[in-house]
Chain A
Amino acid sequence: MNTPTPTPLIEFRGVSKTYGQGQAAFLALRGIHLGIRQGEFLAIMGPSGSGKSTAMNILGCLDAPSEGEFTFQGVHVERLGRNQRALLRRHYLGFVFQGFNLLARTSAQENVELPLLYRGESAPKRHAAAREALARVGLSGWERHTPAELSGGQQQRVAIARAIVTQPLVLLADEPTGNLDSHRSHEIMELLVTLNREQGITVLMVTHEPDMAGYASRVVHFVDGEIARDDLQENRACS
């Protein structure tokens, strides 16, 4: 078990995000302050339109804030360009989506290898790392199966394997259990908790299910583009 380091890995200082312009402008985030330390398991909750997805996109370096500062390991992400943010994602972040987002008609092995391909790893290294990542999510022996041949839970496991194959600092999960039944959902959550505890990966998860948020060490509630509550949970589910 990793103890969270005192200095924040990720920090929002007065982050705002505006969509549109003039009359149609919509303020999705209103000056958010948020610090996330390494090794945390953070759940972001809130009703739709509360800004949680916007916050997640910015945290994932997919989007840039309109105002304020966003530092990742002390780097000012708001000053980076599109390609520099892409490099940040490539080297430090892993993504898990609600809809799994695997490449169709592509084997689990090849899906997991994809991020390594962009990192320029050699083929033998890619194969070994992908097999190991699939083993870690409990999918040894399923390497050659395409997404169509896998259940939803298995597909999400492949997606998690793809996210962790690069050994990222942060795993961003956007409603990772949204398309799964409750049994599979709990399996996936336990997998995330294991990765968080054993590998020390910082997990950021958006969810609207309190059950799933219960696995997190910290829950942040968004309402109308602002943080309404920020709870540390000592007694997490599945502890």
Chain B
Amino acid sequence: MFINAILLALREIRRNLMRSFLTILGIVIGVAAVITMVTLGNGATRMVGEQIASLGSNLLILRPGQSMGPAAFGAPNFRLADAEAIRAQVSALKAVAPIVSSGAPLVAGNNNWSSTVTGATNDYFIAGNWKIAAGRIFSEDEQHAGRAVCVIGATVQSKLFGHQNPVGAELRVKNFSCLVVGLLTSKGQGAMGMDQDDVVVMPLKTAQRRLTGNPQDIRVILLSMRDGAAPEPIMAQIRKLMRERRKIADNDDDNFNLMDTRQIAEILSGTISTITTLLGAVAAVSLLVGGIGIMNIMLVSVTERTREIGIRLAIGALEHEVLLQFLIEAVALSAFGGIVGILLALISCLGLSALTHMPFEFQPGINLISFAFSALIGVLFGYMPARRAARLDPIEALRHE
């Protein structure tokens, strides 16, 4: 009987193909919207996580000024001695990388490019989680004497050297020539349009002398904690040290800020998942509207098929059999809508993730939930019309024109 009811329902759907399609459109769009929102939202969360991780593991960033944005005016820069003091007094750090940076035009052969040049010690490669693809990092002598050498990122390489090996080549940075000694392994493109591989790194002293023109100031200190170290006590220790060194009175605010990248990642992820939930909820409302569409069509269908119902009842169909038939019809419609919606979501997710460079991951959970929900909507909104059909008086129904 149950299989028969399903067959009957499918036959009925096939009989009114166009109308059935229009009926399920609401469900299709609802399911597709819910799945797309949640999938893309999760993709964004994961991407942020990956990006933060690619900045470096257990990374702290120490900058002058109070805000998270550009350094506030008036806050003095750090000195190299600040970095040395941190290295000497805070034990749970595996890398302390003072850096300066400046935008600079780059020329190699006939090719031009403009990039951010970072002056840093070899600790920068540890703190930034960088791997060397070819060549080497800086030698003791190069760092100490401030020689004109550099390590470049994959983007700079492809823009200036094409497929040639850049190691050993000359690169003109602003107004001086620089020997490329190493190539960094690509980290891939970041999401917010920022290209992490668009970098040139040179020894701190070289950059201070030839680019920023200030041999003392340090803009940022990157600090990499040892694996498993608790960030809070380390951060407190660094903050205390900096307040002492920068001679901040007890009742004055810090004129520097120290950020834990993992905290940033958590805050960002939390924000994105909140947005994802919201968008998903809005999409779920459209799913509900789709359900009302199904109820509407099923009510029309019951009225239209009053005579048919009369025949079935006269022949000896029981109330619950007629109810089941119409209920299954509604559920089959909405479940079919759910399947089409899942396919649509798959297409839109693939398209959107290709457009936005977000990672796409098929999530069985949300697909399953959306499908189950669409079938549930069929039951909820199909019940009322089905009950109306089952309660018809056979004599009246047979007389219906």
A residues in contact (CB < 8 Å) with B? 57, 60, 62-63, 82-83, 86-91, 93, 95, 97, 101-105, 114-115, 117-120, 162
Which of B310, B315, B321, B395 is close to A89, meaning CB atoms less than 8 Å apart?
A: B315
User: Cα distance A97–B308 when bound, in Å?
Assistant: 13
User: Cα distance A239–B105 when bound, in Å?
Assistant: 114
- The answer on a CB contact under 8 Å between B315 and A90 is yes
Assuming A62-B395, A118-B321, is B307 touching A101 (CB within 8 A)? yes
Which one of A63, A87, A114 has the greatest number of beta carbons of chain B within 10 Å? A114
- The answer on a CB contact under 8 Å between A120 and B1 is yes
Find chain B residues with CB under 8 A from A101 CB: 307, 310-311, 314, 398
- The answer on a CB contact under 8 Å between A89 and B319 is no
| CB proximity to A under 8 Å, residues B302-357 | 307-308, 310-319, 321
User: Cα distance A87–B394 when bound, in Å?
Assistant: 14
User: Cα distance A102–B314 when bound, in Å?
Assistant: 12
Chain B interface, number of residues (Cβ within 8 angstroms): 20
- The answer on a CB contact under 8 Å between B15 and A115 is no
Which of B4, B311, B313, B318 is close to A103, meaning CB atoms less than 8 Å apart?
A: B311
Closest beta carbon of chain A to B7's beta carbon, Å: 9
- The answer on a CB contact under 8 Å between A86 and B317 is yes
Q: In chain A, what residue has the closest Cβ to B4? A: A117
Find chain B residues with CB under 8 A from A91 CB: 316
User: Cα distance A105–B132 when bound, in Å?
Assistant: 73
Assuming A62-B394, A117-B4, is B319 touching A82 (CB within 8 A)? yes
**Interchain pairs with CB closer than 8 A, number:** 54
Q: In chain B, what residue has the closest Cβ to A123? A: B4
User: Cα distance A100–B313 when bound, in Å?
Assistant: 15
Q: List 7 A-B contacts (CB under 8 A).
A: A57-B395, A86-B313, A86-B316, A105-B15, A115-B315, A117-B8, A119-B316
Closest beta carbon of chain A to B90's beta carbon, Å: 81
- The answer on a CB contact under 8 Å between A97 and B398 is yes
Find chain A residues with CB under 8 A from B317 CB: 86, 90, 118
User: Cα distance A83–B312 when bound, in Å?
Assistant: 13
Q: In chain A, what residue has the closest Cβ to B307? A: A101
Find chain A residues with CB under 8 A from B394 CB: 62
Q: In chain A, what residue has the closest Cβ to B401? A: A99
Find chain A residues with CB under 8 A from B15 CB: 105
Which of B307, B315, B319 is close to A114, meaning CB atoms less than 8 Å apart?
A: B315
Q: In chain B, what residue has the closest Cβ to A84? A: B318
Find chain B residues with CB under 8 A from A105 CB: 15
- The answer on a CB contact under 8 Å between A115 and B316 is yes
Q: In chain B, what residue has the closest Cβ to A174? A: B398
Q: In chain B, what residue has the closest Cβ to A113? A: B4
User: Cα distance A97–B311 when bound, in Å?
Assistant: 10
User: Cα distance A117–B317 when bound, in Å?
Assistant: 9
- The answer on a CB contact under 8 Å between B398 and A89 is no
Q: In chain A, what residue has the closest Cβ to B314? A: A95
Find chain A residues with CB under 8 A from B4 CB: 117
Q: In chain A, what residue has the closest Cβ to B311? A: A101
User: Cα distance A86–B321 when bound, in Å?
Assistant: 11
- The answer on a CB contact under 8 Å between B316 and A118 is yes
User: Cα distance A102–B308 when bound, in Å?
Assistant: 8
Which of B308, B310, B318 is close to A87, meaning CB atoms less than 8 Å apart?
A: B318
Closest beta carbon of chain B to A77's beta carbon, Å: 14
- The answer on a CB contact under 8 Å between A87 and B316 is yes
Q: In chain B, what residue has the closest Cβ to A87? A: B316
Which of A62, A83, A104, A119 is close to B314, meaning CB atoms less than 8 Å apart?
A: A62
User: Cα distance A115–B310 when bound, in Å?
Assistant: 13
- The answer on a CB contact under 8 Å between A103 and B308 is yes
The 6 closest A-B pairs by CB, nearest first: A90-B316, A89-B316, A115-B315, A101-B311, A83-B318, A95-B314
User: Cα distance A121–B259 when bound, in Å?
Assistant: 75
11 additional contacts, CB 8 Å, given A90-B317, A118-B317? A60-B314, A62-B314, A82-B319, A86-B319, A93-B316, A95-B314, A101-B310, A103-B311, A114-B311, A117-B4, A118-B316
Assuming A63-B395, A105-B15, is B319 touching A95 (CB within 8 A)? no
User: Cα distance A95–B310 when bound, in Å?
Assistant: 12
Find chain A residues with CB under 8 A from B315 CB: 89-90, 95, 114-115, 118, 162
Find chain B residues with CB under 8 A from A162 CB: 315
Find chain B residues with CB under 8 A from A57 CB: 395
Find chain A residues with CB under 8 A from B312 CB: 114, 118
User: Cα distance A82–B317 when bound, in Å?
Assistant: 11
Q: In chain B, what residue has the closest Cβ to A97? A: B398
User: Cα distance A63–B314 when bound, in Å?
Assistant: 11
Which of B8, B318, B395 is close to A86, meaning CB atoms less than 8 Å apart?
A: B318
Find chain B residues with CB under 8 A from A115 CB: 315-316
Q: In chain A, what residue has the closest Cβ to B308? A: A103
| CB proximity to A under 8 Å, residues B171-212 | none
| CB proximity to A under 8 Å, residues B387-401 | 394-395, 398
- The answer on a CB contact under 8 Å between A83 and B1 is no
Find chain B residues with CB under 8 A from A120 CB: 1
Which of B311, B319, B395, B398 is close to A83, meaning CB atoms less than 8 Å apart?
A: B319
User: Cα distance A120–B395 when bound, in Å?
Assistant: 24
Find chain B residues with CB under 8 A from A117 CB: 4, 8
Find chain B residues with CB under 8 A from A60 CB: 314
